[in-house]
Structure 1
């Protein structure tokens, strides 16, 4: 044989003795048997694939575990459906299965029909088995046993005839029955006998077993040819597996429509979950965006609070908070300038009644004649003397000349203090306002007097006398 051999020995059978079944000290011998059995099983898988049967291979635990109820008294090698087919049926089989059932029997091998190799202390066997928990396969078998085919002009013949014919074709060493109970030779199988064995298996919650058991002594004596014999026996059981195990080609219970309904239900549930997740993700994204906007706003506030004052503008460059409204009255009208006593003229004294009338007549405005026009108006505009000085204006508080400090009465530079840099002789002056230089009308300017000529105030109190020095003793 080209593939690895099984070649069982007495030591291999002794590894599964009852007194060693619960001990982990003998896991090494059992592990070696498992590895050889899985290597040998690859040849069986290849031969089944040639018959159009796709199976996966799995081995039971070689040490005590929850899947073998903490007893490693035998070694199973399972040939069962591939992963895609198992997943398809598990979605149906898991419906209605309680958590306690899953904890009590976590092994998945009982829920599917399978071919198997089993090695125990007393024998080695190859078999086809279907457990009552494999509901899909059991229902498919029962439907085959009870169904009939209608042929034109012929009496009804049960579909079970195909199954009984496959059992009769097995070698005479093969038998069938409920696991652990009485067995009947496959050559004597009938539909009623199979149905009865299936009922016993369901009552005892044990698999329906069809196979061949080789005693320990016979297996050791014929170890050289046993590997090939066991492989041929599994291939002989392949037609039984094909007739009983459910597939889309062997669907006697209309399970295909149920699976489609389950798939549609799963797709609908998946779509609802995805929609709910999408809504949740959208809400989370909006919440994150709001949080980021709030964080950015708080950061901007902190940055603005930490930055120095803003750079001055034209509106704030020459205006201080103290004199912001000093040059304007109610309604935005310019306030009249108040002259201080002693600035530009002597204090006015109150005149008698007669003198007041004469003074009022003298101060009344008279229409100037052409011959008596003011010198400032008759002087040509190009003369430097007329451009350098203007006549005193009592309303403006003095004479405006180059270098005079003036206050702007109105306009965008209202209440700003500047220096006259040039008089143009046309009723205007160029004024330096800090970094700016602009032309303003003389009517919009007011002379600023420093007040250095203000008379000093004196007190009527006597000055204290200097202290008299004490005489030295």
Structure 2
């Protein structure tokens, strides 16, 4: 799902879009509207790229990052993201396993959802545009799935072939290893890079950069260029991303077994109430499609409709033609 303020069709990026992320604005709510306009353009890009990925056999969900500074992004918005990730039901299946692996302190320190899973992405900051594939070092499941997969000689060769087939415009940063698309990769160097997983930098970043002065980024046709780029990277995404059919870390047995529909229904109600209390949600009737009023913050006294509530107690609320993320504890049901 995508959130922002902007046109339904992508019209290109302007200097104002990049200036929305100058350092002096990172932690200020005064510039939320500027960043929301960028989020709107990214959402429009998602409407072009998402269907193309699905048509190519890669049905991923798109989302944009928060445009306003909150505790969930460290009160700092230095860039805007459009990212494509595994679908909600698959993320839900993996949530307990990921939470078990990461400490609570680690989850609080980095609550960004696009750091938990492998993604295809478009990123806007002051300098320009980045687009590509990314595994953040917190996306440990997908990262370790790749590294364990590379222990197999045949899979190793397939990975080298995928890298060699990429455009020379792409830069590949893999731990201690850097190269460009189309390059012949040294096997031993790649092995050493894989062993460096878990360092506090990007674990894998395959990216093409466009400076803010590039003429093509101001044109509507730039959407098709990004569509081709991410569609080209989709096979690499599929090669890496963990799934039950691509399980090289042997975790299938750790996933919850399917329960009967009746038990699922009952347990989901109980779990929902427990999550709400744990997240500090005062109004337990809060749920998607409920009308609410904001109790405090930038949107205090504004009314809206809840779109969804995540496991950390953050609600996505539609206020007029805006979609914003607000702690659920700051909302009250009014209908």
TM norm structure 1 = 0.50
**Helix, strand or coil at the partner of 2:242:** coil
For this pair of structures, how many residues does the alignment match? Answer: 257
Give ranges in structure 1 of 5+ residues lacking alignment.
Answer: 149-157, 278-473
In structure 2, relative to structure 1, the CA distance for the partners of 1:114 and 1:193 (3 Å cut) is farther
- Choose the corresponding residue for 1:36, options 41, 55, 67: 41
Query: 2:87 — aligned with what?
Result: 82
- Choose the corresponding residue for 1:134, options 126, 131, 139: 139
Query: 1:445 — aligned with what?
Result: none
Computing the radius of gyration from Cα coordinates, the structure with the larger value is 1
CA-atom RMSD in angstroms: 2.6
Contact 1:9 1:220 survives alignment (8 Å): no
In structure 2, relative to structure 1, the CA distance for the partners of 1:103 and 1:78 (3 Å cut) is same
- Within 1, Cα distance between the matches of 2:217 and 2:228? 19
Query: 2:160 — aligned with what?
Result: 164
1:233 lines up with 2:229 in the alignment: yes
Q: Return the structure number with greater relative CO, CA threshold 8 A, min gap 6.
A: 2
Give ranges in structure 2 of 5+ residues lacking alignment.
Answer: 1-7, 271-335
Query: 1:184 — aligned with what?
Result: 179
**Helix, strand or coil at the partner of 1:64:** coil
- Within 2, Cα distance between the matches of 1:160 and 1:147? 6
Query: 1:205, CA displacement in angstroms?
Result: 4.3
**Helix, strand or coil at the partner of 1:210:** strand
- Within 2, Cα distance between the matches of 1:140 and 1:10? 40
Query: 1:426 — aligned with what?
Result: none
Show the 5 A alignment for 1:32-181.
Answer: 32-148=37-153, 158-178=154-174
Query: 1:163, CA displacement in angstroms?
Result: 1.4
- Within 2, Cα distance between the matches of 1:190 and 1:113? 24
Contact 2:177 2:189 survives alignment (8 Å): no
In structure 2, relative to structure 1, the CA distance for the partners of 1:176 and 1:96 (3 Å cut) is closer
- Within 1, Cα distance between the matches of 2:238 and 2:187? 17
In structure 2, relative to structure 1, the CA distance for the partners of 1:131 and 1:20 (3 Å cut) is same
- Within 2, Cα distance between the matches of 1:231 and 1:220? 14
Contact 1:6 1:37 survives alignment (8 Å): no
Query: 1:97, CA displacement in angstroms?
Result: 3.3
- Within 2, Cα distance between the matches of 1:197 and 1:214? 26
Q: Deviations over 1:188-210 (max 9, x none)?
A: 23444444444445222434101
In structure 2, relative to structure 1, the CA distance for the partners of 1:67 and 1:182 (3 Å cut) is farther
